[in-house]
């Protein structure tokens, strides 16, 4: 059960699409303009998956050209309501997370530099057996 729920929200663009639909019904091109970095193909696949999961409703209007709109289902709204505390936690701890990542990245660079120096020193000075 948990894995299934995480699969729904873990897809790269799912939360972006769901959050954009909180403002109401949207057409495909409106969503495409609002979500930076998503391709037409990926948005289409994401909307299809969200519709399959019952989080998004798709309405097709028989016009020329055809008009297709998307909106959150009740299940999609419930999911976003359930995720609100997680979003609040992320906002509250955003600075701490950024600091921790910066410390980790500096440590990784320091370790890599140490390993590089160690390799450089070991290749420059060949060891003589019995002499240390």
Give the pLDDT confidence of 49-61 residue by residue, as tens digits: 999 999 999 999 9
| Contact present, 20 and 69 (Cβ < 8 Å) | no
The first and second tokens of residue 3, run together, are: 């894995």
The confidence score (pLDDT) of residue 2 equals 76
**Stretch 8-23: mean pLDDT, rounded?**
90
With a cut of 70, say whether residue 20 has pLDDT above it. yes
42 φ, ψ to 5°?
-70, -40
**Stretch 8-34: mean pLDDT, rounded?**
92
The confidence score (pLDDT) of residue 3 equals 79
pTM of the model: 0.70
Sequence-ordered alpha helix ranges (H) in the chain: 2-10, 14-20, 28-34, 40-52, 74-124
Mean pLDDT (the chain) is 89
Residue 69 host element (H or E) = strand 67-72
- Which fold is adopted by the domain 2-123? Arc Repressor Mutant, subunit A (1.10.10)
């Amino acid at each position: 059960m948990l894995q299934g729920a995480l699969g729904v929200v873990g897809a790269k663009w799912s939360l972006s699409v769901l959050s954009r639909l909180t403002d109401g019904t949207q057409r495909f091109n409106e969503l495409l303009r609002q979500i930076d970095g998503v391709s037409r193909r990926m948005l289409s696949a994401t909307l299809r998956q969200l519709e399959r999961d019952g989080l998004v409703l798709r309405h097709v209007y028989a016009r020329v050209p055809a008009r297709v709109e998307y909106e959150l289902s009740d299940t999609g709204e419930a999911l976003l309501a359930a995720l609100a505390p997680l979003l609040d936690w992320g906002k509250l701890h955003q600075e701490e997370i950024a600091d921790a990542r910066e410390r980790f990245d500096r440590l990784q660079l320091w370790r890599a530099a140490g390993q590089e120096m160690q390799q450089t020193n070991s290749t420059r000075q060949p060891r003589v057996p019995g002499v240390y």
